[in-house]
């Protein structure tokens, strides 16, 4: 397993470029198609400010029952990712980049914010979740980082992915899933507030999303001032500098 991860890290830049392009192209088509349908219903594709169901139930990497509300206890922000644990390409690259960005972020994971990864494959098990937890948490540089890997039944998965408008589709021929990739930032009351699309994340973007999702409760005075120089663009789920007039 360690050899695989090292190989991924060595080739990360090239693979990121290729796969990110594929994700953006395929997901943009999906957004356009969904938006055309949902605009007729008076909805927006990215359901920002939607209150998520806090009663959704999961199992964590230790086999404990966890409700969505438990993930928000004592924290101001939850960063959520949706993946499936048998994935060895896009999901693995997302984990590599997320762990690397969290390491560079310099904030303790579990003090004000935490991370949870939910598998959208109902066949994934607690044992597989435990393996992922063992591999990826240390990559953040924090052995005790609050990054949980969760599994759930099909009903809970469908409810969560529908609330977030997260696209995924099982491919029977290959046994794999085609899916989008993003970080979802959830407020302490369960409100879906921000998302960052793709599998590559700048630490400063994650930091700004956390600060904004916490309504300014997290971050130093200087860090909050620095957020004034970037603006969030819902169309592509990214921050852009206002100094470049973008």
The residue that leads in pLDDT, 50 or 26, is 50
Distance from C-alpha of 27 to C-alpha of 70, rounded to nearest angstrom: 31
Domain of residue 209, residue span: 2-244
Give the residues across from 115 on adjacent strands. 79, 147
Q: Residue written as tokens 């793709």? A: 198
Q: How confident is the model over 9-36, as a mean pLDDT?
A: 44
Q: How confident is the model over 83-105, as a mean pLDDT?
A: 94
Number of domains composing the chain: 1
Q: What is the CATH number of the domain that holds 177?
A: 3.40.30.10
The residue that leads in pLDDT, 16 or 139, is 139
Q: Which residues contact 102 (CB under 8 A, 6 or more apart)?
A: 109, 115, 140, 141, 142, 145, 203, 206
Q: Which residues contact 82 (CB under 8 A, 6 or more apart)?
A: 117, 118, 119, 120, 160, 161, 164, 166, 168, 179, 182, 184
The residue that leads in pLDDT, 242 or 6, is 242
Q: What is the pLDDT of residue 239?
A: 83
User: Tens digit of pLDDT for each residue in 45-55?
Assistant: 567 888 999 99
Distance from C-alpha of 64 to C-alpha of 184, rounded to nearest angstrom: 23
Q: Confirm if 136 and 95 have CB atoms less than 8 A apart.
A: yes
């Amino acid at each position: 397993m360690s050899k695989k991860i090292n190989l991924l890290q060595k080739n990360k830049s090239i693979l990121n470029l290729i796969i990110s392009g594929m994700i953006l192209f395929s997901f943009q088509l999906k957004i356009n198609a969904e938006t055309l349908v949902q605009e007729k219903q008076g909805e927006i594709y990215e359901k920002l400010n939607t209150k998520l169901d806090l009663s959704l139930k999961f199992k964590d990497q230790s086999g404990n029952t966890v409700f969505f509300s438990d993930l928000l206890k004592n924290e101001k922000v939850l960063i959520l990712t949706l993946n499936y644990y048998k994935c060895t390409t896009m999901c693995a690259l997302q984990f590599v980049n997320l762990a690397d960005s969290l390491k560079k972020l310099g904030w303790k994971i579990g003090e004000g914010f935490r991370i949870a990864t939910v598998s959208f494959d109902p066949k994934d098990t607690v044992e597989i979740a435990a393996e992922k937890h063992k591999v990826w948490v240390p990559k953040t540089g924090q052995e005790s980082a609050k990054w949980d890997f969760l599994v759930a039944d099909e009903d809970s998965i469908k409810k969560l992915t529908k609330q977030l408008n997260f696209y995924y589709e099982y491919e029977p021929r290959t046994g794999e899933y085609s899916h989008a990739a993003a970080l979802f930032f959830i407020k302490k009351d369960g409100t879906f507030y921000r998302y960052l699309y793709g599998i590559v994340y700048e630490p400063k973007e994650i930091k700004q999303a956390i600060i904004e999702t916490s309504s300014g409760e997290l971050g130093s005075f200087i860090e909050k001032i620095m957020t004034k120089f970037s603006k969030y663009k819902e169309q592509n789920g990214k921050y852009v500098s206002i100094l470049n007039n973008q």
